[in-house]
Homo-oligomer: A and B are copies of this chain.
């Protein structure tokens, strides 16, 4: 099965980190491909940036249709997830969604632990969007400067372990170290944290495999059926084609 790790951020090193971490738990037979945002931001950290990056995510998925059995939107916060799930035929999974759902099987409440206070509102809204506030012990973020997004996992490793302890005191039974730059950190610090840790990239890979194995067909009814063909102006060509149904040879195109 072909899984696409789609990084809505522009930083290649982050994609490397996500793919390498995920690959460690891939099943035999899983082929993991990758994509890094060609435009947008080095690292998304606000809801304004996520609004824009979510639209770019749709462009990236349009370009890769037919090339994956399931795709992962690999930014915690899941930019563009609902739109993508509506628009595309193959399963699309959010990295935070996957981490949260996986953590639910290991405890009553998960705690989200991350490295920068400004991500908290976005992450909280992500938890709400998924309807999981009742099973979330909170979003716990460091509020101190760091040198670079690339190295924040190692630089702040100890502080994040400390913050995990606070999350546990606050009711967390499982910890998610959140934000693409922290992919892979869980394995390194698991022995220092007294509750299970869920790695977001690995959880996402396994959940993508799950959906690819189950092969659900695209909804033809309900909230996630494909929207009817719609003309547009000024969009990336492949995305416009997806939206106008001109990507669909059998349809002959709905709008000329």
- Residue A162 interfacial (CB < 8 Å): no
Q: With contacts A41-B230, A190-B217 known, is A93 near B105, CB below 8 A? A: yes
Q: With contacts A52-B58, A214-B206 known, is A118 near B228, CB below 8 A? A: yes
Q: How large is the interface on A (under 10, 10 to 19, 20 to 34, 35 or more residues)?
A: 35 or more
- Residue A66 interfacial (CB < 8 Å): no
- Residue A130 interfacial (CB < 8 Å): yes
The answer to whether B195 and A222 touch across the interface, beta carbons within 8 angstroms, is yes
The answer to whether B211 and A194 touch across the interface, beta carbons within 8 angstroms, is no
- Residues on B with beta carbons closer than 8 Å to the beta carbon of A85: 106
The answer to whether A232 and B41 touch across the interface, beta carbons within 8 angstroms, is yes
A214 to B217, CA, bound (A): 27
The answer to whether A107 and B223 touch across the interface, beta carbons within 8 angstroms, is yes
The answer to whether A101 and B108 touch across the interface, beta carbons within 8 angstroms, is no
Q: With contacts A25-B214, A194-B220, A195-B221 known, is A91 near B106, CB below 8 A? A: yes
> Would you give the shortest CB distance from A25 to chain B, in whole angstroms?
4
A23 to B255, CA, bound (A): 36
- A-B pairs, top 3 by smallest CB distance, nearest first, are A39-B234, A196-B216, A46-B227
Can you list 5 contacts pairing A with B, beta carbon distance less than 8 Å?
A27-B29, A51-B82, A52-B83, A107-B219, A206-B213
